[in-house]
Amino acid sequence: MATAKNTIQRRLPDSLIDKGLEESLPIGVQKSYFMLSEAEREILNIALEKYRPGQVEPISVGGRKSFKPALRLATNYRLVIEEIQGSEAVTSYTRWVDAVQVRGTENQEIYLTFSPRFEHIWLELKKHLPEYLAEKPTRIRLRSRYSLRLYNWAKRYVTVGSKRISLERLRKVLGLESVRDAAGNLIQEAPLPVWANLRQRALDTAIAEINRKTDLKISLEELGRSSHRRITTLTFDIKAQPLPNGNEKAQKPRLGIER
């Protein structure tokens, strides 16, 4: 089992993108977690708090009222987990809960079982659960994986106010770089290789959603270019703003370069 585990690596943008920038959980797991209803998240949190390494025994999560949200965790919600296994990029589609048990007749108790195949996911979520819950009012609003990634990065620099980043590093932040195995062999080409497509389909979409829904306001201050007019760096203005009240019809911010 130890040998098998050593052959599995998470994709770089879901591990350590930069010093001080941690994404211990795949962005697909984060996105799915924030999209759960309060009842479903409460049941999942109870189970994760009780979960222990190597545990295969069912975990008690409460009485009969826990049944419906527990069952939805086992049937309605899909997790997307991306990993590198050997020389292949492997995407696994699974559920939050492997099984739901109902014990008793009159005073029923509900139990959940997690799949041991993804133990590292359950342990990482258990480890980072407090900070995720603390930021729930903000992160739970985001639906785009690019928005989640950019928000995670930008949140660290809000006290600085302005941050320059290379285009190559930004690709890693957004999860848009090429994927390589442990030996450095190319497994998957970088998505959205053209800057205009990257900006329109990923960056502008993420900035607009973050500005509309979260406690951050982000804008592009400057685009750095090489002598051949190629984009090499970007400078972002990052500021705190009052948390929006959830009005989805609020005017979208302008995304052009601010002078």
pLDDT of residue 14: 35
| pLDDT per position as a tens digit, 177-218 | 877 767 777 777 888 899 999 999 999 999 999 999 899 999
| Mean per-residue pLDDT, 134-148 | 72
Say yes or no to pLDDT of 248 above 60: no
Which of residues 201 and 254 earns the better pLDDT score?
A: 201
Residue 186 CA from chain centroid, whole number = 24
Structural domains in the chain, CATH included, are 2-134 (1.10.10), 142-240 (1.10.10.10)
Q: How confident is the model at residue 230 (pLDDT cuts 50, 70, 90)?
A: very high
246 SS3 class: coil
**Going by DSSP bridges, is the β-strand pair 59-62/78-85 parallel, antiparallel, or unpaired?**
unpaired
- DSSP H/E element including 9: strand 8-10
pLDDT of residue 165: 95
pLDDT of residue 249: 43
Separation between Cα atoms, residue 209 and residue 27, nearest integer Å: 16
123 SS3 class: helix
- DSSP H/E element including 28: helix 27-34
Record the tokens describing residue 118, joined without a space.
């993804």
Say yes or no to pLDDT of 49 above 60: yes
Question: Which one, of 73, 84, 7, 70, lies nearest residue 35 by Cα?
Answer: 73
Question: Cβ–Cβ contacts within 10 Å for residue 237, how many?
Answer: 14
Say yes or no to pLDDT of 3 above 50: no
pLDDT of residue 86: 76
Q: How confident is the model at residue 132 (pLDDT cuts 50, 70, 90)?
A: low
| pLDDT per position as a tens digit, 92-126 | 889 999 999 999 988 899 999 999 999 999 998 88
Cross-strand bridge partners of residue 60: 111
pLDDT of residue 220: 93
Record the tokens describing residue 76, joined without a space.
């309605």
pLDDT of residue 35: 80
Asked if residues 39 and 60 have their Cβ atoms less than 8 Å apart, the reply is no
**Going by DSSP bridges, is the β-strand pair 216-225/59-62 parallel, antiparallel, or unpaired?**
unpaired
Separation between Cα atoms, residue 194 and residue 198, nearest integer Å: 6
pLDDT of residue 138: 59
Cross-strand bridge partners of residue 109: 103
User: What value does the mean pLDDT of the chain take?
Assistant: 80
| Mean per-residue pLDDT, 159-179 | 89
Separation between Cα atoms, residue 76 and residue 98, nearest integer Å: 12
Say yes or no to pLDDT of 17 above 80: no
The fraction of the chain above a pLDDT of 70, given in percent, is 80
Separation between Cα atoms, residue 244 and residue 170, nearest integer Å: 26
Say yes or no to pLDDT of 144 above 90: no
